[in-house]
């Protein structure tokens, strides 16, 4: 069967299943949570759905919080930690998807979840909006009943095709709550060797390099971008550690990275370990907007800025205005910037200005605001 025909049949099946799913009675007390991170061995427990799920399970006994796992192994892991979770294609996974009065997502609702989402209250938590114009450009499979955003500034960057007249509520990102307080079981999904390395770090400074995904590029030549051999030697003389956190599509390329003072973080939720880092190095990734809440230096290394603007586009013309930190474009100037930020932090005031743009709230109560807003409307029976 040709690919085009298979796609048509798949869409036909999904659309009809979605219509059929409207017949199922929904319970306002059943909420299902869906993530989007897929690792090599099993699902990565991360992002805003994770943190609202943990908050709901810990603080709202009146709600049956169910995590719909992308693989059976992860469902078993969550159940071993005392949570309710089922593989999304299992009988119980499908049952709860059909019974849920509320469905929580933080990325696009995927076709395999859309088919069972008729008449559920669909809640979108987002998974970050920094500066890239390309994010959220696809039209969702169905209207989202609520979209939760960290600030009006971020809300205005969301394309109309994505919003589709859905109400946007300013709450903050649930994942950022952990910067302000301890959250039980937030360690689930964290790469344990990296966590142990950082907790017992003998290094004077720890740097995280987290570049963004570049569409159409199957390879990110990290050796050329950073010259790891030279950089590792330079870091060693200063007792600095560099940790690489690459987009999932590029992680295979870094598995053989083996340099002193350079460590590659495997599939992981990085938010529980962000506070260990003294400096973030990035380019266009939205991770910098949340790192602002830690009020630590950020070095911006947009080595391909003009090319990126042409291919991907940015949400604003002036890159410098919304990137509160030194901008460097070569390996040599990157090393110089690392040296300077370790001596003196000159961007605290600028970070505060941009932090206020991206985060209307900075108090660790984002989950509470989301739950308060959702309690205003009861869905199902």
Average pLDDT per block of 10 residues along the chain, 381 residues long: 74 88 96 91 95 98 97 97 98 98 96 95 95 88 96 96 96 97 96 92 94 77 86 94 83 70 90 97 95 98 91 88 96 93 95 98 97 71 36
The answer to whether 22 and 147 are in contact (CB under 8 A) is: no
Predicted local confidence at residue 375, as pLDDT? 86
CA dist 335 → 16, 80, 223, 257, 301 (Å)? 57, 45, 15, 20, 11
User: For 3-181+364-374, which CATH class?
Assistant: alpha beta
**Tokens representing residue 28 in the block:** 């306002």
Instruction: End-to-end CA distance of the chain: give it in Å, rounded.
Output: 43
How far, in Å, are 33, 246, 338, 340, 342 from residue 333 at the CA level? 44, 21, 9, 10, 14
Cβ-contact 264, 255 below 8 angstroms: yes
C-alpha dihedral sign at 270, 273, 275, 276: negative
**Which alpha helices (DSSP H) does 207-286 contain, by range?**
222-226, 228-238
Within 10 angstroms of residue 139's Cβ, the number of other Cβ atoms is 12
Residue 187: count of CB within 10 angstroms of its CB? 14
Give dist(CA 145, CA 147) in Å, integer: 7
Q: What is the model's pLDDT at position 253?
A: 64
Domain boundaries, the chain: 3-181+364-374, 192-358
Comparing C-alpha atoms, which of 215, 345, 369 is closest to residue 280? 345
Q: How much is the pLDDT for 255? A: 63
Contact assessment for residue 138 and residue 124, using Cβ atoms and an 8 Å cutoff: no
Q: Against a cut of 0.85, is the pTM above it?
A: yes
Q: Are 186 and 178 in contact (CB under 8 A)?
A: yes
* Confidence at residue 224, expressed as pLDDT on a 0 to 100 scale: 82
Report whether 375 contacts 121 (CB < 8 A): no
- Pick from 142, 83, 84: nearest CA to 113: 142
Return d(Cα 71, Cα 86) in angstroms, integer. Answer: 9
User: Helices 366-374 and 47-59 meet at what angle, rounded to 10?
Assistant: 70
Model pLDDT, residue 156:
95
* Upper half-sphere CA count for residue 20 (Cβ side, 13 Å): 9
**CATH class given for the domain over 192-358:** alpha beta
| CA–CA separation, 298 and 364 (whole Å) | 21
Residue ranges with strand state E in 19-61: 27-33
3-class DSSP assignment, residue 356: helix
**According to the model, what pLDDT value does residue 251 have?**
66
pLDDT of residue 41: 83
Beta-carbon neighbour count of residue 148 at 10 Å? 27
Instruction: List the beta bridge partners of residue 327.
Output: 300
Tell me the longest C-alpha to C-alpha distance in the chain: 66
Work out the angle at residue 217's Cα, subtended by the Cα atoms of residues 216 and 218, and round it to the nearest 5 degrees: 110
At 358, is the secondary structure helix, strand, or coil?
helix
């Amino acid at each position: 069967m040709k690919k085009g025909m298979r796609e048509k049949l798949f869409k036909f099946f999904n659309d009809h299943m979605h219509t059929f799913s409207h017949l199922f009675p929904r319970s306002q007390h059943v909420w299902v949570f869906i993530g989007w991170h897929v690792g090599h061995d099993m699902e990565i427990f991360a992002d805003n759905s994770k943190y609202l799920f943990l908050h709901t399970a810990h603080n709202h006994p009146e709600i049956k919080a169910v995590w719909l796992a992308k693989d059976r192994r992860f469902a078993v892991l969550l159940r071993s930690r005392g949570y309710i979770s089922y593989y999304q294609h299992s009988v119980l996974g499908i049952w709860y998807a059909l019974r849920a009065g509320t469905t929580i997502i933080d990325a696009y609702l995927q076709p395999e979840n859309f088919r069972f989402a008729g008449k559920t209250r669909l809640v979108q938590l987002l998974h970050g909006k920094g500066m890239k114009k390309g994010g959220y450009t696809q039209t969702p499979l169905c209207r989202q009943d609520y979209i939760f955003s960290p600030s009006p500034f971020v809300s205005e960057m969301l394309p109309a095709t994505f919003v589709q007249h859905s109400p946007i509520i300013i709450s903050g990102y649930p994942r950022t709550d952990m910067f302000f307080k301890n959250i039980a079981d937030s360690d689930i999904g964290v790469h344990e060797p990296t966590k142990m390395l950082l907790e017992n770090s003998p290094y004077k400074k720890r740097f995280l390099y987290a570049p963004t995904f570049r569409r159409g590029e199957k390879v990110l030549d990290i050796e050329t971008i950073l010259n790891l051999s030279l950089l590792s030697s330079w870091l060693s003389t200063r007792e600095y550690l560099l940790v690489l956190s690459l987009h999932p599509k590029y992680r295979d390329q870094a598995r053989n990275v083996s340099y002193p003072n350079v460590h590659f973080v495997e599939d992981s939720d990085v938010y529980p370990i962000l506070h260990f880092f003294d400096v973030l190095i990035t380019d266009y990734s939205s991770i910098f907007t949340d790192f602002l809440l830690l009020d630590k230096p950020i070095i911006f290394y947009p080595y391909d800025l003009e090319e990126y603007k042409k291919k991907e586009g940015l949400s604003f013309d002036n890159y410098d205005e919304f990137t509160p930190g030194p901008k460097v474009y070569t390996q040599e100037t990157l090393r110089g910037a690392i040296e300077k930020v370790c001596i003196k932090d000159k961007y605290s005031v600028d970070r505060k200005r941009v932090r206020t743009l991206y985060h209307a709230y900075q108090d660790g109560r984002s989950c509470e605001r989301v739950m308060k807003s959702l309690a205003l409307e009861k869905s199902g029976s």
